[in-house]
Every structure is written in structure tokens, then in C-alpha cells.
Amino acid sequence: MLKRLRLFIHTYDPAKFSLIYSLKAVFALILSGLIAYFCSGLGATVWAINGASNIFFLNAIDGTNKEKFFYLSLFLAVSLAFIFSANYVDAFGVWLFVPTFIWFFIASTSSILSQNLNKVLLGASFTSIIILAFKHSHGSIDSKEIAIGFFIGGVTATLIRVLNFSGYGLFTKRSFSALLDDIILTNNAKNESKFEFWQNKTVQNIANLKNIFSKNSVNLKDTKLIKNHTRAIFYLYKMEELIYCISTIRSRYFSNDDRKTLFNRLQKEIDYNLNELKNLFVKKDVNLKFDTYNRVKSLKEMPIFMASLDVLYNLFKIIVAGGEEKIALKAKRQKLSFVKLKETLNLKNQLFQFSLKYSFAVAFSVFIASVSGINRGMWIALGVVTVMRANATAVKNVTKDAIISTILGMAVGIGIVFVFKDTPEFYLFVLLAAFFIFYLKTFPYTVWNFSLIVALAIYFSIITPNFSDLIFFRFIDMCIGFLIAVIISMTIWPFKSKDELMPKFMQNLTNLSDSIDDMIDVEKKGEFYKNTHKSINGINEFKTVIKESKKSEFLPLYENLKEINLTILKLKSYLSTTQDEDSEITKNDLTMLKRRFEMIQNKINKLPFYFYEDTKELFLNKDTKTLFLMNKIASKQEEIYHFFD
């Protein structure tokens, strides 16, 4: 049980960064609360804690420390503007839905300019709803007191959040050790489902690290730090190659022939070597083993498998030797163009449609609350904001998860209050509740929402003795909001998971075609693994959409895409370890495979196409192993081709 819990925690917080982030958040809450209490009294203290919480809830803000500081300061400024204008805005009465619609439309479409701006404006919008809900429950608000508290909490939390206590070196060491743990878990996956999960998790973690390193490179001025940063990029790319190599050999672990024991020993030796690589990041000696590898190689069989194994063990040696990867990581900046703006702001654009739906849903919930006179009706709007998504299927799924986790959270939270209220242990639960609402933010939504509701029950019990009734009626209000979100998402421009099936599939064909193109053009160094990353992510997303839309008839397409991607990886490994005397012929054969992807797309799009089904006359390559792998790709292409007959 304890082992499974550790694995679950490692899945969502492998390098303990969420733990550090949460401890910083709790420290910020306590410090801002103390400062506000001594500076302005108890009333400001509550809002100082609220302001600090909001800063740490914006954990998805991306960029350099300067960019984070700018956007967090912008959030604070917009939130303060809402606080000072709350009384004027609420004076609209039943017409409050009009400014609500306008503001939420602006906030949701701001992603055209910047994803960070979008997160900030939507976060500030959430704060505005909380302010109005508080005003409706108390009749009036002291804007000055709230603003002072929120400002103290916001500034304190921003400074604590932006400051780095661990340092760049410790970050990289923890990141790479966690990454190697992910690769080990991938290597030890007992079935295809677990393998896909850990492979996708590792690939995503590598992508996240690339993004972080691309941002950090802007801040580095010291020569030593720049050198270490360059070395870290080298390790990162080699880790990416490791996960792809393991993907090509792991099927041998499950062979049922007389060499099963040998392959099990090979798997353990690879595990050992991966663990040894972790010593690089704690300044210990690395002692690689090659015994089983040499034994398998001495058999002089399985040339395709051995090609991948050669690449893997060579990677072990290259990583230990160290180096400097010449591929530069550059941060991608979102650029605004009037063409893109024009394309977005029309009724056929999905983002524009969602922005209208989202703002209408929130405005409608505000209108319902105003007209019906529901006490604390702004909680209905909170319900809409909580579950509204671009995908109607996702709205239904997250609504179900929200209801289930809320009911469980209410039961546990109320139980904790009844058992521990008026005891010293209760204050420990207050601190734990604050910690977990930040720590579990990176975990599945149901887990995080459960912790949030438990925390709300505990904090409501401090505010009022009738806390159980309060939280129950707020839950009913939010359920009304959930219902509004579901109805609007299903009736106005409904975009469901099934609508994503073919676009996702076509993009996967393009990604696989690009991978082959990168093998043809040897000048595109580093591009092959970038496209492999796209393919793995794209194929995984395609599978998710199939499940969400319950279109199991598309599963054969998923299996074919996955097999083609794996075979392309094997072909890449094999070609990189052999002397190709007929490289031009190989390029010609690869070009034929690339064109077959294009012809499949043309067939689907009802454009002119030609598709040779007889693969015996398709390739000119004389190498039997290369020919075997190419024919395997071609046969899977043919299955995809006939799927659309």
C-alpha cells in the first residue's frame, strides 16, 4: 500500500517541486496574514490570505522570473480595480449580466494575445465573483479594508513566489534524477497500458524541462552557469533518446522463447545502468555494466533488435562521458498578427465560439441569480466558471468529477470538524488543508477538488457555526451553475470529442510523414526526435479522444499509428548503426513511404490520389532488415488506407 502511494506521488510530483511550491505558499499565507493583522486588523487579514492564495493558484503562469513578476503584478492590479469598483458594478442590479458578458468575453479571447494574459484575466475574473458573492452575503463591503489586505497578501506572495531558494543547480539535479526514475518505470512497465502511461509521462516531463531551460537561458549571465546550462541541455536530449530507444526494445522482455531468462537479465542490467546514471547528479562514480549486453551481442542474431540495443548502450557511454549539445533551446514567443486576429474574430472560429458561449453562460448565471433573488447567487456563476470547457464532452466529464469529489469532500470535511473542533488537533488540520489545496493542484482534478472542499468545510466552520448548512446550499448553487454550463455547451455550437477524431488523426499522419522526411534530410539534425515527441503526444491524444467519444471502431487506426511510429524508431536506430552503401536508394524508398501518407490524406479529403498496394514492387532496397521494416510500415499504411474504403 505504501509503495503504491509513493508511486502515485511520484507520478504527479516526481522531483518534489510541488512540495516545495506548497510549502512556500503556506509560508506566504502565514506571513501575509501576520503582516496584515498587525498593520490593519483582522478584517484585512482574511483578504491578505485570499490575495496570497490567488497568487499561488496562478501556478500555470509561464516565462522568466521577470515575466512572472509582470503578470502576477498585473493580476494584482486588475483584482484591486475590481475591489474598488465592486459597489459601482453591483449597482447595475439585474443588468449586471451585461458588463459580465463583456468582461468575460474579453478575458476568454485574450489568449490570442498571450496565454499568460488569458490566465491572469480569468483569475482576476474569479476574484471579482468572490468579491461580489461576499458583498451579497454581507450587504456591503469596505473596499479600502479589502484592498489593503489583498494588496499585502498579493505583494508578499509574489515576492516569495518569484524568489528562488533552491538554486539552479539543485533544480537540474532533482529534475534529471526524477526523469531517470520515469525512464526506469517505463522500462519496467508490465503491460502496454502502463508502458504508454509512463512513456507519455516521461515525454511530457522532457517537454516541460525544455520549456523551463529555454526560459532560464535568458537569465544566465555567469560563464559557469552558462556552461552548466549547456551541459544540462546535452543531458536532456540524451534522456529523450533513451526513452525512445527503450520503446524499441521492450517487446523482447515478454518473449516466451528459450531466451526469456536472458532478456529478463538484460532488462535488469538496463535498470542498473539507468540507476547508475543518477550518480552523475550527486557527484558519485558511475559504474556501467555490459555483461548481458555482450552476451546478447555474441549470439549474432536479431540484427534489428541489436541495432536498437547498440544505440542504447552507446547512449549510456555518451551520457557518462558528457558533452555539450549544440541544439539551442529558444523560448517560443506568441506573436500577434492582424491576420490571425481577423481569422479568430469570426463566428466559424472555435476560440471565438467558445468565448461567446463562456461569457454567455456566466452572464446568464448572473442574470438568473439577479432575477430570482437567490441569496448568494454569485455561487451559481462560480459553478459555471469551474466546469466550463471548450469541449462539451469534457464539460460533462468534469461536472461528474466535480459533483462526486465535492460530495466526498463535504462528508470528510464535516466529519473532521465534528470530531476535532475545539481540540488542538483542529489547528493542524487547518494548516494541512491549506497545504494540500496547493500541493494537489498538479494531481488529477477529482483529488484536488476533494481537498479544496475539505478545506472549505474546515474554514467555513471557523466563520459560522451553521457551516454545514452553508456549504450544502453553496453546493446546490454551484450545481445550478454546472447544469447551465452543460446545457449551453451541448446546445450552442456543441463541439464534442467525436468532432476531434479526424483532425487529430490527420495531424498524426502529418507527424509521421515529417519523421520520415527528417530521416531523408540528414541536415535536419535534432528534428527527428522533435517530431517523434509530436507523434507520441498526438497518438496518445487520439486514443484519449477515441475513449471520450466512445468510438471504439477507431481503435484499429490508433494501433496502426502506434505501430508505425515504433517501426520508424526501429528503422532510425538500424540505419544509424549500419553502413548504408545505397543511401540514395534508401532515401528513395523513404520518400515512397512519405508519399503514401500524403495519398491517404488525399483519399480522406477526396482529392486525386494513387496508392500502390503491391509492396513487393514498391522498394528498391537490397538490405533485408531495412526492407523488412519498410514493408512493415507499408502494410500498416495499407490497413489505414482500406479503413476508409
Phi, psi for 253 (deg, rounded to 5): -60, -25
pLDDT digits (tens, 9 = 90+) for 560-603: 999 999 888 888 888 877 765 667 888 888 888 888 888 888 88
pLDDT greater than 50 at residue 220? no
Integer Cα distance of 47 and 146 in angstroms: 6
pLDDT digits (tens, 9 = 90+) for 179-208: 889 999 888 888 888 888 888 888 888 888
pLDDT greater than 60 at residue 323? no
DSSP notation for 481-514: HHHHHHHHHHHSS---GGGGHHHHHHHHHHHHHH
pLDDT greater than 50 at residue 225? no
User: What's the pLDDT band for 252 if we cut at 50, 70, 90?
Assistant: low
pLDDT digits (tens, 9 = 90+) for 479-537: 999 999 999 998 988 887 778 889 999 999 999 988 888 888 766 666 787 888 888 88
CB of 382 closer than 8 Å to CB of 136: no
Q: What is the dihedral of CA 154, 213, 565, 8, to 10 degrees?
A: -50
pLDDT greater than 90 at residue 401? yes
Q: What is the dihedral of CA 440, 446, 450, 456, to 10 degrees?
A: 80
pLDDT digits (tens, 9 = 90+) for 307-318: 888 888 888 888
- Put simply, whether the predicted model's pTM sits higher than 0.85 gets the answer no
Integer Cα distance of 397 and 404 in angstroms: 11
Per-residue confidence (pLDDT) for residue 405, from 0 to 100 = 93
pLDDT digits (tens, 9 = 90+) for 327-386: 444 555 555 555 666 677 777 788 888 899 999 999 999 888 888 766 666 788 888 988
Residue 280: which H helix or E strand, with range?
none
User: Residue range 61-90: average pLDDT?
Assistant: 88
Integer Cα distance of 96 and 99 in angstroms: 6
pLDDT greater than 90 at residue 29? yes
Per-residue confidence (pLDDT) for residue 432, from 0 to 100 = 92
Per-residue confidence (pLDDT) for residue 403, from 0 to 100 = 94
CA torsion sign, 295 to 300 to 305 to 306? positive
> Between 233 and 390, where is the model more confident?
390
Per-residue confidence (pLDDT) for residue 579, from 0 to 100 = 67
User: What's the pLDDT band for 7 if we cut at 50, 70, 90?
Assistant: confident
User: Residue range 428-456: average pLDDT?
Assistant: 91
Whole-number percent of the chain with pLDDT over 90? 25
Cell numbers that stand for 253 in this block: 522482455
Output the furthest CA–CA distance in the chain (Å, rounded): 84
Across all residues in the chain, what is the average pLDDT?
A: 84
pLDDT greater than 90 at residue 436? yes
> Between 175 and 72, where is the model more confident?
72
Per-residue confidence (pLDDT) for residue 630, from 0 to 100 = 87
Integer Cα distance of 239 and 316 in angstroms: 10
CA torsion sign, 580 to 581 to 584 to 589? negative
pLDDT greater than 60 at residue 464? yes
Where exactly are the structural domains of the chain?
14-165, 168-321, 497-643
Range from 66-80, 212-226, 463-477 that averages highest in pLDDT = 66-80
Per-residue confidence (pLDDT) for residue 522, from 0 to 100 = 64
